[in-house]
Amino acid sequence: MSGILCFRNIGQLVQADASTQPGIRLRKNCAMLVQDGRVHKILKDSEIKSSKSYNRVIDCQGRAMVPGFVDCHTHLIYAGERKDEMVERMRGTTYLEILESGGGILNTVKATNRATEKELFDTAHKRMKRMMALGTTAFEIKSGYGLNLKCEMKMLTVGKKLRTTLKVPVTLTYLGAHTVPTGEDREEYLEEIIENLPRFRELADGVDIFCEKDVFTAADLRRLFLQAKLLGFDLRAHVEEFSHQGGCTEAAKLGALSCDHLEHATPMDIHAMHVAGTTAVLMPGVTLFLGGEKHPLVHSMLDAGVTLALATDCNPGSSPTYNMQTVLTLASSMYRLTPEQALAAGTYGSAKALGAEKDFGGLLPKQHADFNLLKTNDYLDLFYYFGENFVDATFIAGKKFKAPKDPATA
Ligand code: NIG
Ligand code: FE
């Protein structure tokens, strides 16, 4: 059988989908056949034929294999760092106070406007490769550090180039409504974004907004989403993060694919997400990094049947991490999710947040053969020995990703 790769001697194979509770199917001592970059078949290791029957046989040495992580909420295209703000926060100033005083997101906006397209591409390319080396095989990337037509387009153009260069699934989101640019009127700026939406149709798959006290209101979200929906954009929203503004229910009612953050979401918001089939994207790395104490009502979400997703929120202000393994372990211990629930959220759930759960995230037959071979024979080690990198090799469409040697940051 030519063209078929056989990954044999897989000690533990983890698959993820919605048909099992809590979303994980565990198989032992099996083999996986991959054809044309997709999972062709899973069989018992004892069932594989002679090696001549396959194009290549890869011995997994009894180790565990998990689906590639799907990072469904990132801001990984940006210039500059904000370490000084981290120190300022440790001294007591809050994240929103820094933003109100013209820093925070607005600092990254200045640096990103100054950066050339090539500079943005080079830094983001390096970041993505580091994320892939840590096991991420699909990404969502937002703009939102331009806050003007030219720079927002520059960011999304970089996103498109990253997608074609790295050959991984990348969903692009236009986040012009990340915050109000310095000196501009909120309503006028929002109007400008809405008027210019058709110009982003070619560059972005979705539209997002940061709905928060002193940033954008739930009514702003509604105005933006009504127009974005008409134009066929997917809708996703930063809602109920530091305070309750009503954006979550509004977004869900308008059919948002995902509502993200949700630390202040109420049972009514959860009900709205359930009714609409909206996925809840949780980002415990932000809570950890900002020293927050409030957690989303994760178990009410689970009880209501809302799909959970996990993401890094990779950005220079509130979550400068590249590591989905960290996010999974944080979600498990901070939210009391079982490892199965956390792993399902960071794979199947995150793919669903991107509307792509049929195509990847589960390592199921016909899906992309995107997976991680771990350094261990037990995927629970990811959660138990937290903080270590357990990914030995990442495969995208069945092909081994060549991890960069250079350990440089940023
Ligand atoms: O998702 N909440 C708003 N936006 C980002 C942070 C962006 C930044 O601080 O640069 C977030 O946390
Ligand atoms: Fe974000």
- pLDDT value, residue 2: 53
Closest C-alpha residue for ligand 1 atom 6: 318
Contacts (Cβ under 8 Å, ≥6 apart) of 404:
126, 129, 130, 133
Whether the CB-CB separation of 70 and 345 falls below 8 Å is answered with: no
| Start-end of CATH 2.30.40.10 domains in the chain | 4-67+362-400
Query: Pocket around ligand 1: residues whose beta carbon is below 6 Å from it?
Result: 75, 104-105, 108, 210, 238, 241, 286, 313, 315-318
130-170 tens-digit pLDDT: 999 999 999 999 999 999 999 999 999 999 999 999 999 99
165-224 tens-digit pLDDT: 999 999 999 999 999 999 999 999 999 999 999 999 999 999 999 999 999 999 999 999
Closest C-alpha residue for ligand 1 atom 9: 317
224-270 tens-digit pLDDT: 999 999 999 999 999 999 999 999 999 999 999 999 999 999 999 99
**What burial letters (b/e) apply to 18-28, b meaning 16+ CB within 10 Å?**
eeeebbbbebe
In CATH, 4-67+362-400 is 3.20.20.120: no
| Start-end of CATH 3.20.20.140 domains in the chain | 69-353
394 C-alpha vs ligand 2 centroid, how far in Å? 25
47 C-alpha vs ligand 1 centroid, how far in Å? 49
Residue 60: which pLDDT band, with cuts at 50, 70 and 90?
very high
109-123 tens-digit pLDDT: 999 999 999 999 999
* DSSP annotation string for 289-348: HHT------HHHHHHHTPPEEE----BTTTB----HHHHHHHHHHHHT--HHHHHHIIII
Closest C-alpha residue for ligand 1 atom 1: 313
What is the atom index within ligand 1 of the atom nearest the CA of 317? 9
Does the pTM surpass 0.85? The reply is yes
Class of domain 69-353: alpha beta
Q: Give the whole-angstrom CA distance, residue 230 versus residue 214.
A: 27
354-363 tens-digit pLDDT: 999 999 999 9
Mutate to test the pocket of ligand 1, among 110, 145, 238, 288 (most ligand atoms within 8 A of CB): 238
